[in-house]
Amino acid sequence: MPAAKKTARRRSAIHPDLATLLLTEAQIKRRVRTLAKEIKTAFGDGEFTIVSLINGAIMFTADLMREIDNPVRLDCIRVSSYGAKTKSVGTPSVIASITLDITGRNVLLVDDILDTGKTLNLVAALILKQKPASLRTCVLLDKKSRREVPFQADFVGFDIPDKFVVGYGLDFAERYRNLPCIGVLRPERYNSGSA
Ligand code: 5GP
Ligand code: MG
């Protein structure tokens, strides 16, 4: 079978709406494991509090936490989403804030993807207002070329190009979060009512 046909078959076996497969389930799994080791080196054996940005970081957080054997607390924060769009517009706002007391605690903020930087800037500022002992940030994906406000995560899983990606928690209009891999969504799906 010609290589192109084989690749096309492999892609459609993952999901027909993906134009390109960016990261396989195995690649993600391997990197999550090494990221957990990096985090462990930074935090030592002590307890820390994970603050996860839902819904996007839900899978990443669940997998990352299981690779960390420190005592950890978990809280979630929900920030306004893209909705059925592929670019962030305006300023993000917090829809549901954390409930744990993080004053004097070591905090790890976890998100799926760092894009313009607006979301993490906002959330990091809110967390810092509560005077944690320390704040570090971990993102699975980083689209460095898209940054509009300066923000650097302490732990980055993968640097990726400026493409709209879905899977492994990342959505388009709330779909595709359950894909075990990460891929570039076919542009024709953006405008399709059934996307
Ligand atoms: P920022 O505020 O850095 O522009 O955007 C961060 C948020 O935008 C992420 O938490 C994520 O929800 C969303 N986002 C940015 N790029 C992508 C992408 O390629 N795919 C998906 N599904 N969401 C994205
Ligand atoms: Mg998000």
Taking the model in full, what pTM does it have?
A: 0.91
The burial of 84, by beta-carbon neighbours within 10 Å (0-12 exposed, 13-18 middle, 19 or more buried), is given as middle
25-60 tens-digit pLDDT: 999 999 999 999 999 999 999 999 999 999 999 999
Q: Would you state the pLDDT for residue 12?
A: 47
2-31 tens-digit pLDDT: 666 655 555 546 899 999 999 999 999 999
Q: Would you state the pLDDT for residue 195?
A: 41
From the list 17, 63, 111, 115, the catalytic residue is: 115
Task: Tell the residue number behind the tokens 């892609």, with chain if given.
Answer: 11
115 is catalytic: yes
User: Ligand 1 pocket, 112 CB below 6 A?
Assistant: yes
Domains assigned to the chain: 25-163 (3.40.50.2020)
Is the pLDDT at 194 greater than 50? The verdict is no
Check whether the bond before 55 is cis (ω within 30° of 0): yes
Is the pLDDT at 61 greater than 90? The verdict is yes
104-145 tens-digit pLDDT: 999 999 999 999 999 999 999 999 999 999 999 999 999 999
Q: Would you state the pLDDT for residue 14?
A: 80
Atom of ligand 1 nearest to the CA of 56: 12
